[in-house]
Amino acid sequence: MDIWLLILGMLAITFVTRYSLFAFPDLRFPPLVRQGLHYVPTAVLSAIVVPGMLLPDGQHWALSWNNAYLLAGLAAIAIAACTRHLLATIGGGLLVFFLLRWAFGQLPI
């Protein structure tokens, strides 16, 4: 029963926040809020990716040269900075990651 109340509560909150933009079409955010919202996707993506790079097992810091997650993440950052191309960043990061895993003997073959 508690789970259903939690689900209904989340549904209500999500509906109200999304519907309010349609219910009040003249509602405009101040420029400072709009500027802050511009950085939300970057902050969310960083919050998801960086822990995976630094704590690949979820418990211990892995700041070493044999951390394929960290090195591939840094390579992807470099590719993104140089090319500004999303597909090149994803493909290059994955290629570096799998090559490093293979080089470190971490891939089952």
Give the DSSP per-residue string, 62-74.
--STT-HHHHHHH
The pLDDT confidence band at residue 108, using thresholds 50, 70 and 90, is: confident
Instruction: Write down the pLDDT at residue 82.
Output: 98
CA angle 64, 91, 83 (to 5 degrees): 90
The H helix count followed by the E strand count for the chain is 5, 0
Instruction: Write down the pLDDT at residue 18.
Output: 86
Instruction: Write down the pLDDT at residue 109.
Output: 61
pTM: predicted TM-score of the whole model, two decimal places: 0.70
Distance CA 53, CA 17 (A): 33
Distance CA 86, CA 41 (A): 15
| SS (HEC) of 1-17 | CHHHHHHHHHHHHHHHH
User: With 90 as the cut, is the pLDDT of residue 44 above it?
Assistant: yes
User: With 80 as the cut, is the pLDDT of residue 102 above it?
Assistant: yes
**Model confidence pLDDT, tens digit, residues 55-99:** 999 899 999 999 999 999 999 999 999 999 999 999 999 999 999
63 or 106: which carries more pLDDT confidence?
A: 63
